[in-house]
Chains A and B, each alone.
Chain A
Amino acid sequence: AQSVTQLDSQVPVFEEAPVELRCNYSSSVSVYLFWYVQYPNQGLQLLLKYLSGSTLVESINGFEAEFNKSQTSFHLRKPSVHISDTAEYFCAVVSGGYNKLIFGAGTRLAVHP
């Protein structure tokens, strides 16, 4: 069965600093990977996804993630974070023929002034 590991439960960082949130997945023939963001007291919003093609995918708010098949990783990065990026970030992988999502435990990103 597919699984996802998010290695950091919390990442504190200062505003305008770079950040990397790590995600590793269990290997499979076909891999579809996602990052979702959950702001306090809100639902899950899709941040970015990897389905095929270019291994570097970007979001509209400056985040990017790179699919690395050899390392089975899909780390999320941002070169300069804002206070408003404070949220919980979940990495997820599609599993099975009906496309259910398997989520990692989440990483709480706390951006400090």
Chain B
Amino acid sequence: EPEVTQTPSHQVTQMGQEVILRCVPISNHLYFYWYRQILGQKVEFLVSFYNNEISEKSEIFDDQFSVERPDGSNFTLKIRSTKLEDSAMYFCASGTGVREQYFGPGTRLTVT
């Protein structure tokens, strides 16, 4: 069964550094998403990506964040200058529409 994969599983970085979180969505999916979950809190929407552009973003997704689909298979989330409060589990998801979204296993980002 196809699945969404994410790398790395855990990333430790220092405050102010840039990080890139990588995702490989399911191949025939058209909608791509990033969510995050701060420890002990609920899952929050960050951004959706459709037709090679951002379709919607939340208030969390400020100028420090960017997304790319550089080669038709990978889907990346970049944080330019990490802050302590960016520490969270980041989930990538993909889907074909409203029917459901498939989530990856997540990347735990720790900013020290």
Contacts and interface: CB of A to CB of B under 8 A. Distances in A.
Residue from B35, B41, B44, B100 with most neighbouring chain A CB atoms (10 Å): B100
Contact of A90 (B31, B43, B50, B56): B43
Contacts of B101: 46, 99, 101
B42 A105 contact: yes
Nearest to A36: B103
A98 B102 contact: no
Nearest to A43: B105
A42 interface: yes
B45 interface: yes
Interface of B: 31, 33, 35, 41-45, 48, 50, 55-56, 91, 93, 95, 97-106
B98 A94 contact: yes
Contacts of A42: 105
A99 B35 contact: no
Given A97-B56, A100-B48, A106-B42, 13 more contacts: A43-B91, A43-B103, A44-B91, A46-B101, A46-B102, A49-B99, A94-B98, A97-B55, A98-B50, A99-B95, A101-B33, A102-B45, A105-B42
A102 B102 CA distance: 15
Contact of B55 (A32, A34, A98): A98
Interface residues of A, number: 24
A101 B45 contact: yes
A32 B101 CA distance: 12
Nearest to A95: B45
